[in-house]
Amino acid sequence: MEIINYGTDDINQMAALQCCWPPGTEVFHSPTE
Amino acid sequence: MQFSFHTIVIPDYPNPGEYLLYNTRSQAMIKINDELKELIDHFDRPDYFYLRFRYAYEIVRLHKSGILSENQEEDLARLKGHMDQIKHSVDTRSFFVTILTTYACNFKCVYCFEESSRANEKMTMACAEQTMAWMKSQIIKLSYRSLYLNFYGGEPLLNQPVLEHIATAMKSWCESRGVEFKFMIQTNGYLLTPQLIERFLPLGLKQVRVSVDGVGEDHDKNRPLRGGGGTFDVIMNNIMASCDKVPIGLSVGFDKGDTGPIERLLSYCRDKGIIRKLGRFIFSPIHAGLGRRGEKENIQNTHCDCNYEDESLVEANRKIRALMTNYGLEIKSGMSTTICPLMRENSGVTVDQQGLIYKCNSMLGHPELSVGHVKDQEYNQQHLAFVHLDVYNQCPQGCVYLPMCSGGCRFSSFLRNKNFTTPVCYKKYLDTMAPEMIKQEYQARRSKILAEVS
């Protein structure tokens, strides 16, 4: 078994909360941020 | 013990005989072998006693991570905890406030969702003072550790005195209390100059976002000046003169699944040598908007609805991801928790030029959808009505995507159904895209882990 991300129960610790639906339509890159 | 309702199982990935597991509630991602998968599928069978003993440690970890659950009741209790957090929790790390310095704009974009209720109205200094007093009270009340302002419009640079006054005063107030302060500007880029950026940098400017819809005519047909005439050349000259001073991101709308303008824009940025100097690129489908003030049900630009049809979304999404990969640009996987700010008690807000507070920019210009005013300490009844919509209760509780979608966009619900209460389901789209996005997330995380090790 390999744990890539153990996950969390705290939504404020989760990656990238967002409000654009459906998920995955906002594709970006940010080399300078 | 069983797989959670909210666990997606991807077989034979990354290698044959391996299973990649992803939980949409906890965002856990774990790879297991076929023997462990076999055990989970037959967990209660007596003849699997030996494997239960052998994998006892792994089972505990998988259960704790949310990938497995004891039973249906535990799964539903965890889901309720997740949804309660969305509704009531506060992320004290940062308070994100969008401020409209003006509702006026020097552009007349063909799809502008504010155009139907456009007014040539600027925020006054008195309203700016009220807005700052309200932000200070919120920061104190909820113990925010950072304030991040987003100056927006209309065109925010048409009212620079208010922008400068708010940034100067809030920076000073925040610093005196140990609260971090920074701001960004979301502009059409026509008035953006290097001199302006140099003036704003000491005030806390951290990034600029400019809307560009392609190269030359691709852009100019969508985003002309209010009096007529193209804007692309001026904007790109401004960006090229300024992008060494501050990260400038580009917001790019696309329509009818046509990614040609995006392809030409990326090629242009590469040829001009700025593609790696720019900040965040954001590509998103153009959507319809509410009707005129007092007639919000009379939806505008409904032809854009095609951008949100499952097949169109999948096709455009795949094309853009392929383009980004060809240019060697990093892509966001999209496997994130999507939350409607309307349904959160405390989240980022938008303050318009009159001091009305909104939870969703798409509702600007419709005062009956505002959730309060900066002159008041408390939000209004509309705020409570939005927070208690609890739309997710209407979705199948066993839907694997429910924790990351929470019933869908409330604004989209209004565009489709003329109400805020109907769930908007993207299961068909996600059934196609989620496995691809999870694989992408796996590759990105794995690369990061390997980079940290080496």
CB contact under 8 A, A24 and B329: no
pLDDT value at B377 more than 80: yes
Over residues B259-285, the pLDDT tens digits come to 899 999 999 999 999 998 888 888 888
Tell if the CB–CB gap between A30 and B317 is shorter than 8 Å. Answer: no
Per residue in B36-76, pLDDT (tens digit) is: 999 999 999 999 999 999 999 999 999 999 999 999 999 99
CATH code for the domain defined by B91-382 = 3.20.20.70
Higher pLDDT, B246 or B253: B246
Q: Return the HEC string of chain B.
A: CEECCCEEEEECCCCCCEEEEEECCCCCEEEEEHHHHHHHHCCCCHHHHHHHHHCHHHHHHHHHCCCEECCHHHHHHHHHHHHHHHHHCCCCCCEEEEEECECCCCECCCCCCCHHHCCCCECCHHHHHHHHHHHHHHHHHHCCCEEEEEEECCCHHHHHHHHHHHHHHHHHHHHHCCCEEEEEEEECCCCCCHHHHHHHHHHCEEEEEEECCCCCHHHHCCCCECCCCCCHHHHHHHHHHHCCCCCEEEEEEEECCECHHHHHHHHHHHHCCCCCCCCCEEEEECCCECCCCCCCCCCECHHHHHHHCHHHHHHHHHHHHHHHHHCCCCCCCCCCCECCHHHCCCCCEEECCCCEEECCHHHCCCHHHCCEECCCCCCCHHHHHHHCCCHHHHCCCCCCCHHHHCCCCHHHHHHHHCCCCCCCCCHHHHHHHHHHHHHHHHHHHHHHHHHHHC
> Among B103-117, B157-171, B343-357, which stretch is predicted with the lowest mean pLDDT?
B103-117
For the cut 70, the answer to whether the pLDDT of residue B373 exceeds it is yes
Q: Please check whether residue B9 touches A, CB under 8 A.
A: no
Mean pLDDT of B310-314: 84
CB spacing of B66 vs A32 below 8 angstroms: no
Look at A30 and B138; give whichever has higher pLDDT. Answer: B138
Q: What is the predicted ipTM?
A: 0.88
pLDDT in tens, B85-97: 989 999 899 999 9
Q: Which of A10-19, B408-417, B419-428 has the lowest mean pLDDT?
A: A10-19
pTM higher than the cut 0.95:
no
Chain A environment of B26 (Cβ under 8 Å): 7-9
CA distance B340 to chain A (A): 6
pLDDT digits (tens, 9 = 90+) for B413-432: 999 999 999 999 989 999 99
**Residue B170 clears pLDDT 80, i.e. is over it:** yes
**What value does the mean pLDDT of chain B take?**
93
- The per-residue pLDDT for range B136-167, each reduced to its tens digit, is 999 999 999 999 999 999 999 999 999 999 99
Inter-chain residue contact B329 with A15, CB threshold 8 Å: no
pLDDT for A33 equals 47
Domain spans of chain B? 2-70, 91-382
Q: Does B81 touch chain A (CB under 8 A)?
A: yes
